[in-house]
Amino acid sequence: EGDVYKYYSDGEWRKSSSGKSVAIINPTTRKTQYKVQACTQEEVNKVMDSAKSAQKSWAKTPLWKRAELLHKAAAILKEHKAPIAECLIKEIAKPAKDSVTEVVRSGDLVSYCAEEGVRILGEGKFLVSDSFPGNERTKYCLTSKIPLGVVLAIPPFNYPVNLAVSKIAPALIAGNSLVLKPPTQGAVSCLHMVHCFHLAGFPKGLISCVTGKGSEIGDFLTMHPGVNCISFTGGDTGIAISKKAGMIPLQMELGGKDACIVLEDADLDLVAANIIKGGFSYSGQRCTAIKVVLVMESVADALVEKVKAKVAKLRVGPPEDDSDITPVVTESSANYIEGLVLDAKEKGATFCQEYRREGNLIWPLLLDNVRPDMRIAWEEPFGPVLPVIRINSVEEGIHHCNASNFGLQGCVFTKDVNKAILISDAMETGTVQINSAPARGPDHFPFQGIKDSGIGSQGITNSINMMTKVKTTVINLP
């Protein structure tokens, strides 16, 4: 307590003139762990000004030099994996090993992005006019990709480092500058990650990180005329942002209700292992977590038994001990999850374990015989609680999946690949995984949601392309 982490603006660490701070509550101890500056709108304006001017010269910096700096930042980030992981443990209660993995994966992402960037931005197109009716070969068209300007990155609490760099690296390699608004839980991890970019020696003002209350600077940032692109990952706020933002490209990854459809011929051990990984890793706080199991009635008893046996082995406790199930991020999140559980209880779901909660820590819970009238059949708990709905036909499963307002990912388990592909085609989601749990990575794969799950597509290549626009020069021959 006492110390307030500084924010990062124009290449320097600064205190806010507001004199105010935002407390970050450790989800495990439920006590204040860190404090960050509560930046003002005036400070946001300054950040925008320096981002704008830094971008102009950055865009002229040779691509290979931009890549070189990103490789340097990636290496520094990996060197700092231990202290950053420590912040993740304290701020978002991510299990110790997963916290380290998040930082290493982030370093890899930054390097990959630098490599991909030099390849795809190193190429343009050349067109001739006489392919279009009525034209002679009198016009040559040269195309290249140019940066958008200032990119605003807003990552969520569950991957504050990884989902920040997945926006920062493509933005920078493409010649944009970057303003980062970290989530409250995860802000210090973000500041530490930004410090690695600072150490790598990026020009002043090219990257900045403003912390503060969403109510004070949230709308101000997203509606700021200086912003040329927003890349956001999070919840419903994204929908609000998309309505308020100006005429700029938006990349949004919002919630999900990823379904796991299990057919009669599925390898049930494989399914059970994937349900544990997909449903309970980081206590279900992943947008790509399995959030509903839709299993054929004839194999449901057997599957539920297998999953139950594995749930019993999950270690529940603090993230420092690398427990499998750790406290969820906030008390209000725990209360929300509890609301879904109580609703399911009232409406007659079968509890495979006893419901247990201490503070923000919720024990893993499998709910069998969930029916469509229960809230948990549709809502996203973002916690270690997984509903099972028994189905009598594949069509019923697909119907449930498609009736959701979300459409991020889904998965189907069967040995019949032809059937799996037809089911994948029928599922209205951005991605369908065959015989594995949903996941965003590897990070160069396209990643997108439809309906309320988002707009645009991520993944390294798509993000680089999205953060550029096409510029053409036409040579008119005499």
Residues forming the active site: 253, 287
State the Cα–Cα distance between residues 393 and 395, nearest whole angstrom. 5
Options 124, 359, 441, 442; binder of ligand G3H; rule CB under 6 A: 441
Q: Up-side HSE of residue 11: CA atoms within 13 Å toward CB?
A: 10
Which helix (DSSP H) or strand (DSSP E) does residue 254 occupy? none
State the Cα–Cα distance between residues 143 and 373, nearest whole angstrom. 54
How many residues touch ligand G3H under the rule CB under 6 A: the total is 8
Residue with Cβ nearer ligand G3H (304 or 437): 437
**442 binds ligand G3H per the rule CB under 6 A:** no
Site of tokens 């701070």: 21
**73 binds ligand G3H per the rule CB under 6 A:** no
Q: Which of residues 291-330 bind ligand G3H (CB under 6 A)?
A: none
In DSSP terms, 125 is beta-bridged to 143
**Closest residue to bound ligand G3H by CB:** 287
Strands 229-233 and 150-154: parallel
The nearest distance, CB 92 to ligand G3H, in angstroms, is: 12
Residue with Cβ nearer ligand G3H (150 or 293): 293
Q: CB–CB of 103/84 below 8 Å?
A: yes
Per CB under 6 A, which region of 60-68, 143-151, 282-290, 325-333 contacts ligand G3H?
Answer: 282-290
Per CB under 6 A, which region of 194-202, 221-229, 280-288, 416-424 contacts ligand G3H?
Answer: 280-288
**266 binds ligand G3H per the rule CB under 6 A:** no
Q: Is 304 left (phi over 0), alpha (psi -120 to 50) or beta?
A: alpha
Q: How far is CA 353 from CA 269, 276, 372, in A?
A: 20, 15, 21
Cα dihedral across residues 199, 233, 337, 409: positive or negative: negative
**158 binds ligand G3H per the rule CB under 6 A:** yes
In DSSP terms, 151 is beta-bridged to 178, 229
**124 binds ligand G3H per the rule CB under 6 A:** no
State the Cα–Cα distance between residues 362 and 316, nearest whole angstrom. 8
**288 binds ligand G3H per the rule CB under 6 A:** yes
Q: How far is CA 106 from CA 79, 159, 342, in A?
A: 12, 10, 38
Strands 468-476 and 139-147: antiparallel
Options 110, 118, 287, 460; binder of ligand G3H; rule CB under 6 A: 287
Options 192, 286, 291, 390; binder of ligand G3H; rule CB under 6 A: 286
State the Cα–Cα distance between residues 232 and 156, nearest whole angstrom. 8
Q: Is 264 left (phi over 0), alpha (psi -120 to 50) or beta?
A: alpha
Q: Which of residues 420-439 bind ligand G3H (CB under 6 A)?
A: 439
Per CB under 6 A, which region of 267-275, 286-294, 384-392, 468-476 contacts ligand G3H?
Answer: 286-294
Residue with Cβ nearer ligand G3H (229 or 408): 408
Options 440, 449, 453, 466; binder of ligand G3H; rule CB under 6 A: 440
The nearest distance, CB 333 to ligand G3H, in angstroms, is: 14
Per CB under 6 A, which region of 87-95, 194-202, 212-220, 284-292 contacts ligand G3H?
Answer: 284-292
Residue with Cβ nearer ligand G3H (344 or 411): 411
Residue with Cβ nearer ligand G3H (217 or 325): 325
**462 binds ligand G3H per the rule CB under 6 A:** no
Residues within the interface to ligand G3H (CB under 6 A): 158-159, 286-288, 439-441
